[in-house]
């Protein structure tokens, strides 16, 4: 079976996770908490590491903007700057702010100015070995941040979890003919010409839902939204009671389920879905696979990756290019932004 370039990159996720599992962690001094600087796929990588750290009882915050949060200078976290290109404006601005505040830094990048700063100042760095675009290098990026966290004592050894995730994703993708591919194609049919709304419970499901949203945006060039339980039960659930024509004919809801969800959240998902039956189109439900948190997360995420490509193919657009983003960056670069 011949895969398009983006599908080939998605099929390479297991190899990225294994690369991260075999990675020699950089030397990083122990830290009580971490701050990750990143945008887009790099920020998602930080969120993956933050989720693992949270499960271990440690705090890691992802900052998706210029500079650093006001609390950071006083708290003194380890700052992990993540940028595939090494030239992300917001991230570089955050690095300068962290340096001015005297914070410890570590870098994750494939090159560019971020790599230059690491060499100039002797910062620990993990050099990414994955082809562009950045959103398809998520296994390397997330694995690299996790290994930095591991070196800093924020999380336990990650190699086994990364290898399990690689095995689960490999089985699901199956060289382009696995169950995740078939599921993604079925979901693409259900979501064709609809706005996708992705629901997941706080934790693995919510983070995977965010990945689905951004991948549908970038690869599928389509509008998508995500929300998480239990918060959506306190506001969004009410929105499906009006404009039934739009809800049933123009929206498609996908539920992401994790076997490790809090039992109360699982019950909320069931009750909420029953309540919305008939009010909004239900495109499908996807269940996490595997035992560890990384396997469960990436088993959900890879279905969304594949779905985004299937939607792009149905729409006749190229999932590799991001012309609007490139144009935006070009215009802002002229203003130093």
**pLDDT tens digits along 49-62:** 999 999 999 999 99
Would you give the DSSP letter of residue 277? B
In a domain, 330, yes or no: no
Residues 152 and 246 in one domain: no
Residues 124 and 49 in one domain: yes
Pair 307, 300: CB distance under 8 Å: no
Q: Is 282 helix (H, G, I), strand (E, B) or coil?
A: strand
Residues 14 and 150 in one domain: yes
User: In this structure, what are the phi and psi dihedrals at residue 260, rounded to the nearest 5 degrees?
Assistant: -90, 5
Tokens of 66: 């210029």
In a domain, 326, yes or no: no
Domain total in the chain? 2
pLDDT at 246 over 60: yes
Beta bridge partners of 227: 199
Residues 199 and 236 in one domain: yes
Angle between helices 293-315 and 204-218 in degrees, nearest 10:
20
Q: 176 pLDDT band (50/70/90 cuts)?
A: confident
Sheet containing strand 251-257, edge to edge, reads 224-229, 195-201, 251-257, 282-287
What are the contacts of 314-321 at 24+ separation with CB within 8 A? 314/188, 314/192, 315/220, 315/221, 315/222, 317/220, 317/221, 319/4, 319/6, 319/218, 319/219, 319/220, 320/5, 320/6, 320/133
pLDDT at position 181, please? 96
Residues 158 and 10 in one domain: yes
Pair 185, 7: CB distance under 8 Å: no
pLDDT at 1 over 60: no
First to last CA, the chain: 43
Q: Is 183 helix (H, G, I), strand (E, B) or coil?
A: helix
More confident residue, 224 or 175: 224
Residues 267 and 236 in one domain: yes
Angle between helices 40-55 and 293-315 in degrees, nearest 10:
150
Give the domain CATH number at 21. Answer: 3.40.50.10490
Nearest to 78 by CA among 94, 53, 60: 60
Q: 333 pLDDT band (50/70/90 cuts)?
A: confident
Residues 88 and 219 in one domain: no
- Domain range spanning residue 188? 178-315
pLDDT at position 2, please? 60
In a domain, 335, yes or no: no
Residues 39 and 130 in one domain: yes
Residues 185 and 278 in one domain: yes
């Amino acid at each position: 079976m011949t895969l398009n370039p983006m599908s080939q990159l998605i099929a390479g996720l297991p190899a990225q996770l294994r690369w991260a599992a075999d990675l020699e962690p950089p030397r990083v001094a122990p830290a009580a908490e971490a701050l990750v600087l990143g945008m887009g796929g790099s920020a998602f990588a930080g969120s993956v590491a933050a989720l693992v750290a949270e499960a271990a009882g440690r705090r890691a915050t992802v900052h998706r903007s210029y500079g650093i949060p006001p609390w950071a200078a006083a708290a003194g976290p380890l700052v992990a700057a993540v940028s595939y290109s090494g030239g992300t404006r917001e991230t570089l601005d955050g690095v300068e702010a962290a340096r001015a505040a005297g914070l410890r830094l570590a870098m994750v990048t494939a090159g560019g100015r971020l790599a230059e700063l690491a060499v100039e100042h002797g910062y620990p760095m993990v050099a990414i070995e994955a082809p562009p675009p950045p959103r398809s290098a998520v296994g390397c990026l997330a694995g690299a941040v996790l290994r930095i966290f591991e070196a800093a004592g924020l999380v336990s050894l990650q190699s086994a979890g990364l290898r399990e995730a690689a095995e689960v994703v490999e089985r699901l993708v199956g060289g382009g003919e696995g169950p995740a591919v078939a599921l993604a194609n079925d979901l693409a049919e259900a979501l064709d010409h609809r706005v996708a709304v992705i629901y997941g419970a706080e934790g693995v499901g919510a983070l995977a839902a965010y990945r689905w949203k951004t991948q549908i945006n970038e690869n599928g060039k389509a509008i998508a939204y995500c929300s998480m339980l239990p918060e959506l039960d306190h506001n969004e659930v009410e929105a499906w009671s009006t404009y039934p024509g739009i809800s049933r004919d123009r929206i498609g809801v996908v539920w992401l389920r994790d076997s490790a969800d809090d039992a109360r959240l699982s019950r909320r998902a069931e009750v909420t879905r029953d309540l919305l039956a008939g009010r909004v189109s239900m495109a499908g439900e996807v269940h996490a696979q595997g035992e560890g948190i990384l396997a469960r997360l990436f088993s959900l995420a890879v279905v969304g990756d594949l779905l985004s490509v299937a939607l792009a193919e149905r729409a006749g657009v190229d999932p590799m290019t991001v012309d609007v983003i490139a144009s935006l960056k070009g215009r802002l670069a002229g203003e130093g932004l």
